[in-house]
Structure 1
Amino acid sequence: MAAHRLARTGPFFLLSLALVSCGKGHDGALEVAVMGDASAIAEKRARLTPAAQLIRSATVEGLVGFDEQGRVVPALADRWIVTDNGQSYIFRLRDGTWPDGKRIAADTAATALRRSIASLKGTALGLDLAAIDEVRVMADRVIEIDLAAPVPELLTLLAQPELGLFYSGKGIGPMALEPGAEGAASLKLIPPEQRGMTRQPDFPHRARTLSLKFTAPAKAVALFNDGYADVVLGGRVDTIPLAGRIGLTRGNVQLDPVIGLFGLMIERTEGFLGDAANREALAMAIDRDALLARFNIGGWQPTTRIVSPDVEDDLGTIGERWQGMSAEQRQAQAAARVAAWKGAGRNLPTLNIAMPDGPGSSFVFEQVRDDLARVGVAVRRVPERDRADLRLVDVAARYGRATWFLNQLSCTVQKAVCSPIGDERVAEARRAADPQARAALLAEAEAEITAANGFIPIARPLRWSMVRSGTTGFGQSPWGWHPLPPLAWLPK
């Protein structure tokens, strides 16, 4: 339900970019180019890259999963009920077998789920799951998840790729992975009878192979442009200008209606950055309207808030910062703070900003560099993996509630600048049963974390894909990534 509401929020539009050539797939396979490193094919860690999430979700089912539009659908659990005022979720497991042929049972599934949850400790996703009190076996094929307080987004959380259930180190599908050479891999749907399920007579005619190629963004776009890819996945702000280099006519480039964090994270607090007012000066100096204008994408709006106003539990009591001030007025105030710092005889060295490669990152850096220069701060760009004073963050939300944003900026996750008081308010909200009381506590937490000035919001994230006309199994998603199994099913 949350996914439906989010999909209607925000004025995102289809980019009308196109390609005239036809796909050059082989043997009926759907050719998919993924912007990302080939290491995603064998990724086993709990913290997954976006590319690795695609592989994990395709090969390691959880209790539930996502369809192509980001809606929760059955996976290992074929049905569930919610009881005890939202504090108990009871799942009935489907018929089937683990990879070794043993029947899927509640005890082994519950053990796998507990292990997946434990592996996420210390991460933002682990905080999202913190209200889980116990995973219990109720019957041979029935699992109950008890919560300390209601978690309306629990099903969406359980559908995350990181919550896939391993058995003896292996996943249960629904797809089998065959690694290839030079960043290539193929994924095939496993016949139902090989998973201990009822045979589907039409399966051989409906299932198609996905031929994946993990590659650099420019190469992925070139594969599509030259007709060697039917789908391109993994587009973000840093790569969106690449889409504009394609020939124009009918609309193959799509934007997902995501929310999340896109901005600069403070990574160090020595010297000038050690003062919250100075960190705020950097946030005030950035002309967000001018920055987004460089991209010329209709409907992409700037923001100064750390929480999206579109989340379901936003009370509307916290608005955009510095309302009524023009960009010039904000920069004048920021310049005064910088001058005061330097006037006290203190040094302000050039600040390093870590960013990913890509023309979109260049657009962001150039605007930030120019704006900060106007207030007396010099910056240089360094590679994404380098240590830096500030880092460009681009993360799409996993669910549409304020807790996602606040957990991303918690002291558990962000060590440089955080708000212990804000974390306390979030913890209190997690225990609150009343929705209004919970929302009020989250608003207090947002105010505290905002005042710490550890994150400089710029806008919503952008997530884009390229999909050839007539391709089935793809839909715009509020979560910004696209499960592979729906792409492998041909329509009846």
Structure 2
Amino acid sequence: MKASRAGRRKAGGAALLLALALLGGCRQNPGGEVDALVIGERLPRIADPSSASLTPGDLVLVENAAQGLVGFDSGGNIVPALAERWAVSDDGLSYVFRLRSAEWSEGRKVRARDVVRLLERHFAKAGRNPLRDSVGAIDQVVAMTDRVVAIELSAPRPHLLQLLAQPEFGLVRERRGTGPFAVEAKNSTLLLTRTLPGFDGDEGSREQVRLGAAAADAAIANFVAGKAELVLGGTIADLALAQQARLPRGSLRIDPVAGLFGLVPARKDGPLADPAVRALLDETIDRAALVAALGVPDLQPRTSLLQLGLDGVTAPAEPAWTGVPLANRREDIIARARMLFPRASGAQEPPTLEPAPELRVALPPGRGGEIILRRLQADWGPLNLSVVAAKPGQRADLRWVDEVAPSTSPAWFLRSFRCDFVPVCDPDADRLLDAARLTGFAPQRVAFFAEAERRMREAVLFMPVAAPVRWSLAARGISGFQENRFARHPLTGLRERPASRD
């Protein structure tokens, strides 16, 4: 009898704890409208990523008003969006999504055939979706019923959900989406509203975000003045402005992203057409000094094209000189530079100095670009090179790349330097990537990637410097904000503290 009463007390206590947990998890208390700004020159718009070039601000709006099949939560984890659930076949060749009951913003019911048509536009090689090349293993997309969509693959793609969660795969029909927010223009801002269901029959509540756009300096000033609680879309171009502002403690948030941050040849002719010139410039960059000048906490210099932490990447390909300090290589560098960029001509005494060859570099705008330019001038000036920033519309020799990886696969990194996308490339590396796309044997795919990476690094198709930098400003009341590896920040639940994950 005692044991029975103790069991009942234990069961009753467990039930009470469960009820409290459910109440805490389901309680909807947005705490008022949130004023948010994206850094940009114009107000975000909803546009189809398969047919238009979208700004970072546009992608924020698409993510929140024209969701895809799946999405990201505040921590960068995959969560349901238009698809309420999904299943993956044992062989990894079939993804089946069940759509939730939903309507387009004008009231028309969402059907699987609509979703199939929009996805096919995203995946089309002739489209403008910037991530279309990353999903090249897709064989077909099929509407199985009115609410079930299947994506069939020619080879397994374990990172497919990460790609589909990106706003570039948001589903836009006639400039409309399916939420989670409805959008209304309000006095040069956008009012985003979503209705939250009540608990156990209680009346639901609303969550609202007023979204605007501003230049970085104005956005930071609004945040400091308390006129905005959230600022999104910061990059290395404007980080210095945030670092110099008198921000509340802990409000500057930097995402731990992976991606490409460095220099790529911008033309197939000129001095960068010579592999020896590319190798010399690459080796001469003082990455530690450049990263220190940028002043980003925990940012580490990088000499590899691939980044540690990617799936299947344990030892990225490094140049042979990586283990030798730059100071110990300086004499050899200068000797090679004298052969490539002679300082004098003619046999007369004194010799007639040749003008230093000019290298034009397309750089990020703002303070970030100025810091990078000064460091490149300090590194490459002693080689008898004049390094200048390319003006808008001016042909450049080198272009600064600053892109966040959309998944944890190494494929996106390597395919960014295929001959279809860059003027200086390696056709043999392209063939290796094509072979990797076709194989269904994971170890063989990793081996193809490793060889392609080695060839690309030896040919210096890219001069890596570090990981990209993405920053935001979040006020204390925005407890739902989290830094994450994809730098995607949904506007849902901004005042709700994220649930802890074991």
Counterparts of 1:491 and 1:308, CA distance in 2: 28
Residues 169 and 226 from structure 1, CA distance in 2 versus in 1: closer, same or farther, beyond 3 angstroms?
closer
Q: For the Cα contact (< 8 Å) 1:28–1:208, is it kept in 2? A: yes
Q: For the Cα contact (< 8 Å) 1:425–1:445, is it kept in 2? A: yes
Counterparts of 1:274 and 1:285, CA distance in 2: 17
The answer to whether residue 209 in structure 2 is matched with residue 210 in structure 1 is yes
Q: For the Cα contact (< 8 Å) 1:34–1:213, is it kept in 2? A: yes
- 1:313 matched to which residue of 2? 312
SS at structure 1 position matched to 2:150:
strand
Q: Give the superposition deviation at 1:236.
A: 1.2
Counterparts of 2:35 and 2:251, CA distance in 1: 15
The answer to whether residue 105 in structure 2 is matched with residue 104 in structure 1 is no
Q: Which amino acid aligns with 1:250?
A: R
Residues 96 and 488 from structure 1, CA distance in 2 versus in 1: closer, same or farther, beyond 3 angstroms?
farther
Match runs of 1:252-401 below 5 Å: 252-316=251-315, 318-319=317-318, 321-343=320-342, 349-383=357-391, 386-401=394-409
Q: Give the superposition deviation at 1:167.
A: 3.1
Worse-matched range after superposition: 226-235 or 264-273 = 264-273
- 2:150 matched to which residue of 1? 144
Relative CO higher for 1 or 2, CA cutoff 8 Å, sep ≥ 6? 1
Q: For the Cα contact (< 8 Å) 2:48–2:172, is it kept in 1? A: no
Selected match of 1:31 from 25, 31, 35:
35
Q: Give the superposition deviation at 1:394.
A: 0.8
SS at structure 2 position matched to 1:305:
coil
Q: Give the superposition deviation at 1:124.
A: 5.3
* Structure 1, gaps ≥5 residues long: 1-26
Worse-matched range after superposition: 339-348 or 158-167 = 339-348
SS at structure 1 position matched to 2:124:
helix
The answer to whether residue 434 in structure 2 is matched with residue 430 in structure 1 is no
Selected match of 2:88 from 62, 82, 101:
82
TM-score, with length taken from structure 1: 0.86
Counterparts of 1:357 and 1:398, CA distance in 2: 23
- 2:136 matched to which residue of 1? 130
SS at structure 1 position matched to 2:67:
coil
Worse-matched range after superposition: 421-430 or 254-263 = 421-430
Q: Which amino acid aligns with 2:148?
A: V
| Structure of larger gyration radius | 2
* Structure 2, gaps ≥5 residues long: 1-30, 346-353
Q: Deviations over 1:373-395 (max 9, x none)?
A: 02221111134554311121111
Q: Give the superposition deviation at 1:103.
A: 3.0
The answer to whether residue 252 in structure 2 is matched with residue 242 in structure 1 is no
Counterparts of 1:214 and 1:467, CA distance in 2: 16
Selected match of 1:188 from 177, 193, 201:
193
Identity fraction in percent: 35
Q: Give the superposition deviation at 1:486.
A: 3.5
Counterparts of 1:274 and 1:295, CA distance in 2: 29
SS at structure 2 position matched to 1:485:
coil
Q: Give the superposition deviation at 1:191.
A: 6.8
Worse-matched range after superposition: 395-404 or 427-436 = 427-436
Counterparts of 1:317 and 1:256, CA distance in 2: 22
- 1:22 matched to which residue of 2? none
Counterparts of 2:85 and 2:211, CA distance in 1: 32
Q: For the Cα contact (< 8 Å) 2:46–2:175, is it kept in 1? A: no
- 2:491 matched to which residue of 1? 484
Q: Give the superposition deviation at 1:471.
A: 1.1
Q: Give the superposition deviation at 1:94.
A: 1.1
Figure out how many residues of one structure are paired with residues of the other and give that number: 458
- 2:181 matched to which residue of 1? 175
Selected match of 1:59 from 51, 65, 69:
65
The answer to whether residue 425 in structure 2 is matched with residue 418 in structure 1 is yes
Worse-matched range after superposition: 481-490 or 157-166 = 481-490
Q: Which amino acid aligns with 2:369?
A: S
- 2:163 matched to which residue of 1? 157
SS at structure 1 position matched to 2:155:
coil
Q: For the Cα contact (< 8 Å) 1:237–1:360, is it kept in 2? A: yes
- 1:21 matched to which residue of 2? none
Root-mean-square deviation over aligned CA pairs: 2.7
- 1:449 matched to which residue of 2? 456
